[in-house]
Amino acid sequence: MATQDTCCTIVPYFKVHSGKLQEFKALCQRCVEKTENETGCLYYGFSFDGDQSHCREGYRDADAALAHVQNIGPLLTEVLKVADLTKIEIHGPEKELAKLRGPLADLKPQYFTLEYGFRR
């Protein structure tokens, strides 16, 4: 069973530097505000467990994910001054992942290929 779903998810995890949680959360709010107007973004938000954070984000397709990366780039630079990116995964169908592998290579993500499923 193949899937027609083109959704790509970016799954980053952050470890916030000691004493920087409030600054990190303020940057998260700025990221949310900057992302709200992206037409290809399906969902976007930050969750927390103490000083660890996860950004839950999904995009219509690889092009929308790349548009987000370009849009958020300067803010990500600020985020990485107060937190470490401890893990990043990219999920999506191979046709879409192929478009992301080159542009996101510097982040060294782990890629998960969507093979079965549906989207409503």
Mean pLDDT of 57-76: 97
Per-residue confidence (pLDDT) for residue 17, from 0 to 100: 98
On the question of pLDDT at 2 being above 70, the answer is no
Q: Give the span between the Cα atoms of 38 and 51, in whole angstroms.
A: 28
Dihedral of alpha carbons 44, 110, 14, 26, sign: negative
Q: Give the span between the Cα atoms of 90 and 71, in whole angstroms.
A: 18
> pTM value?
0.94
What's the N-to-C CA distance of the chain in angstroms? 16
On the question of pLDDT at 108 being above 60, the answer is yes
